[in-house]
Structure 1
Amino acid sequence: MTDRTSPVLFAYALTGPDAGQKLDGTDIARVLRDTTVGWVHLQADHPATPGWIAEQMPYLDDTVPQALTAPATRARASRVGAGVLAVLRGLNFNDGKDPEDMVAIRIWAEAERIVTLSRQRVRALEDIAEAISDGQGPHGAGAFLALLAERLNARMEPLIADLDTETDALEAQVIGQPDQELRHRIVAMRLQVIELRRHAAPQREALLRLEGEDIPFTRAQDRRHLREARDKLTRLVENLDEMRDSLAVLREELSGQLSDRLNRHMYILSILSAIFLPLGFLTGLLGINVGGMPGAENPHAFWYVCGGLAVVVLLQLWILRRARWL
C-alpha cells in the first residue's frame, strides 16, 4: 500500500546486490548513500518533497531543489557541479488530458544516484521501471538519461505519425470535398501540432546539452545513444514543422474554396434576380385593380402577356450573353 505521507512513488537499485529490486523505507536512503546506483521517483507537488530532498541531499546548491519543485518548467539541461539538472517532457496519457499537454520530468542525476520528479503519471518512466524489474534496465546515470530520452521519443513517434496521416487525409478532403466542418478539424489539429512543437523543440536543445556537456558519469556509448535520441527528436520536430505549414496552407485553401463556392451561389442568385426583377415589375403593373387595363376584355390577352414576358426573358439573356455575364 502506498504511503501517502511520503513523496516517494517508487525507487529501484540499478547496481549492487539489490540491482533490479524495488526499494522502500530505509532501503531507499541506504542505496542513495552507498556507492551503488539508485533511482528514486518523487511526486513533485507533494508537500513533503522539498523536505525529503533537503534531508537526503543536503549538499545540493539551493537552485537545484527550487528547479526540481518549480510549478512551471521548460525543457532544459545543465551541469551543476558533479551532477546534471535536466527537465524533459513526455506525452500526457492520463485520463481527461490531451497528449500534447506534455508532462514535465525533472531530473537530478549523479554518478551514484538519480532522482526524478513529476506532477502526473509518466508512462516512459514506468517503461524504465518495468525494464529494471526484468533485469534489462540501465546500469548507470548516463544510460538512464539516454534510455529516458529514447522512451520519450518512442511514445511521441506514433502520435506524430497519426497526425501526419490525418493531415494527408485532410488534404484529399479539402481538395475533393471541401466542407465547413473541415475548418474546425484543421484548426484543432494545427493547435495540437503547435503545442507539441512548443515542447519538443526546447527538448531537442536539452538533449544536445546532455550530449555535449562534459559529464563525468556518461560513457561514450551513452553519448551515442543520446545523439541518436536527439537525431530522432530532430526528425520529429521537422515533421511537426511540415505539418504546421501544411495545415496552414490547407486552411487557406479551404477558406478560398468555400469563398469561391459562396461567390458562385451569389452570382447565380444575382443572375436570377436580374432576370425576374423586370418580370415581377411587369406582372405587378398588369395586376393593379383599376379601370382601363388593356386587354381586360380580350380572351387571348393572357397568352399575349406570356409571350411578351418570354420575349423579355430572351432579350435579357441575349444582353447578359453579350456582356459576358453568362
Structure 2
Amino acid sequence: MSLTKLAKHNPVSRAVSKRKRKNTGLAPGSLVFTGTKHLEEAAVTLTEYHAEGVIYEQSSLGQLPTPHEGGFIRWYDIRGLHHVPLIQELGDLYNIHPLVLEDILDTQQRPKFEEYDNGLFLIVRALSLNAQEQRVETEQVGIFAGEGFVLSFQENETDLFSGVRDRIRSGRGKIKKRKADYLAYALADNIVDHYYVLLDQLDVMLDGLEEEILSDANRSTKGRIHSLKLQSITLRKSVAPLREAIGQFSRSDSAFIDEGTEVFIRDLHDHSVQVMDGIDTFRDMISGLYDLYLSEISFKMNSIMQVLTIISTIFIPLTFLAGIYGMNFDHMPELHWRYSYYVLWAVMALISAALIYYFRRRNWL
C-alpha cells in the first residue's frame, strides 16, 4: 500500500501528511513561527524576586528591562509566539543561541533538554483535556534558564504557571530561596503535575465508556474507543521523549544546576516515569475495552441468532404439517373430518409447547 493510500486509511497519518513545516529549506537559526495560534497581542509577565521580596510588573511590548546583577531572579513568562520580533529581542537581551529561538518558535518540536554556555534549555508539552470534544490538546512550552533569569514561552494565552506564581508571591516553598535552575524545575514540575489530573479525567472517561459498553454497545461506542486510542498515541508521543529529556536534565553536570536542586530534578524524573506507566496502563485498558466491546457485540449477535434459530426450529414441524395437508390428494381422511382443522391447530400448538419446554430444560432459552 502506498503512503498516500495509507494516509487515507489512517487518521493519524492523514493529520501528519497535511502538516507542512514553514521553515523547510531555511538556514539553521531562522526565526519562523510554525504554530497556528495568533493572539491579538503577546503578553509578557515579568516576575522579579529575591529571598526577601517580590516585584511584579506587567511589561508591554516596548522597552524591556536590561539584565542586572545582584541576587535577583527575573522570570519572563511570554504568551504569544507569533510576535517574532519580541522573541528576537529577548534572545538578543540574554544572548540566547539562535537555534534555541528557532526551536521555541517551531511548535512541532519534540520534548528535549539541551545545555548551552549561558544556560539550560528544556522543551515540554502541556496537556489538557477538551471535555466537550473529548480530545487531548497539546501545547509546546519552552523554558530557558540562565544565570539569574528564566524565560518561559508558550503559544496560547492560558496561564499555565499561576500556581508557581502564587507560591512565589506567598513565599511558600523553596523557589525564592534558590536560583534560576530551581525555578526552571518548578515550571516543568507544574506541567508534569497536570499530567496526573489529565490521567484521572481519562480514567473517568474509561469508566463511563465501560458502563456504556456493558449496557448498550453500539457503533458510536466503537468510535469513542478508537478516539481514545488515538489520544493515547498523542499522550505517548508527548510524554515518552519528555521522560528522556528530564532524565538528561537530572544527569546533567552543568554549572547552572545547584547540588541542592539535583534531588528535586531526580524526583521530577520519577514523576515522568510514573506518568509514562500510567499512559501504558491507559493503552492496555483501551485494548481491554475494545475486546469487551467485541465480546458484547458477539454476545448480542449470538443471542439474536439463538432466538431466530429457536423460532425456526419451532416452525419446522409446523411447516411440515402444513405442507402435508396443503397437498391436493383426494384420499386424505383427515380432510373430511368435522373437527380436523381444530385438531391440526391443537397438534401444532402441542408441538410448539413441547419444543419450548425442551429448550428451557436444556437452558437454551
TM-score normalized with structure 2 length:
0.72
- Which amino acid is the alignment partner of residue 79 of structure 1? E
> Quick one: distance in 2 between partners of 1:173 and 1:99?
19
Aligned residues: 319
The residue number in structure 2 matching 1:46 is: 83
The residue number in structure 1 matching 2:234 is: 195
> Quick one: distance in 2 between partners of 1:215 and 1:239?
31
SS state at 2:97 partner: coil
The residue number in structure 2 matching 1:124 is: 160
The residue number in structure 1 matching 2:341 is: 302
Post-superposition shift, 1:38?
1.2
Post-superposition shift, 1:163?
3.0
Q: Which runs of 5+ in 1 are unaligned?
A: none
The residue number in structure 2 matching 1:179 is: 217
Post-superposition shift, 1:219?
1.1
SS state at 1:20 partner: strand
The residue number in structure 2 matching 1:250 is: 289
Judging changes above 3 Å, is the alpha-carbon distance between structure 1 residues 95 and 110 closer, same or farther for their aligned structure 2 residues? farther
Post-superposition shift, 1:171?
5.4
Judging changes above 3 Å, is the alpha-carbon distance between structure 1 residues 315 and 130 closer, same or farther for their aligned structure 2 residues? closer
The residue number in structure 2 matching 1:224 is: 263
Work out whether residues 120 and 256 of structure 2, in 8 Å CA contact, stay in contact via their aligned partners in 1. no
Work out whether residues 73 and 179 of structure 2, in 8 Å CA contact, stay in contact via their aligned partners in 1. yes
Work out whether residues 37 and 141 of structure 1, in 8 Å CA contact, stay in contact via their aligned partners in 2. yes
Q: Could you give the per-residue CA deviations for residues 73-120 of structure 1, whole angstroms, max 9, x where no partner exists?
A: 211111022311210122337897867312111122111222111111
The residue number in structure 2 matching 1:15 is: 50
2:298 matches 1:267:
no
Judging changes above 3 Å, is the alpha-carbon distance between structure 1 residues 122 and 98 closer, same or farther for their aligned structure 2 residues? farther
Q: Aligned-pair RMSD on alpha carbons?
A: 3.8
TM-score normalized with structure 1 length:
0.80
Structure showing greater relative contact order (alpha-carbon pairs closer than 8 Å, 6 or more residues apart): 1
- Which amino acid is the alignment partner of residue 125 of structure 1? F
> Quick one: distance in 2 between partners of 1:254 and 1:66?
46
SS state at 1:21 partner: strand
Matches within 5 A, 1:1-326: 7-15=42-50, 19-22=54-57, 24=59, 29-34=64-69, 36-42=72-78, 43-57=80-94, 59-92=95-128, 100-136=136-172, 137-138=175-176, 139-164=178-203, 167=206, 177=215, 179-180=217-218, 182-280=221-319, 282-283=321-322, 286=325, 292=330, 294=332, 295-309=334-348
> Quick one: distance in 1 between partners of 2:112 and 2:353?
76
Post-superposition shift, 1:243?
2.1
> Quick one: distance in 2 between partners of 1:98 and 1:296?
70
SS state at 2:128 partner: coil
Q: Which runs of 5+ in 2 are unaligned?
A: 1-38
Post-superposition shift, 1:248?
0.5
Q: Could you give the per-residue CA deviations for residues 124-171 of structure 1, whole angstroms, max 9, x where no partner exists?
A: 322223333334444422111121122112222223134335545655
Q: Which moved more, 1:104-113 or 1:155-164?
A: 155-164
> Quick one: distance in 1 between partners of 2:284 and 2:118?
42
Work out whether residues 92 and 98 of structure 1, in 8 Å CA contact, stay in contact via their aligned partners in 2. no
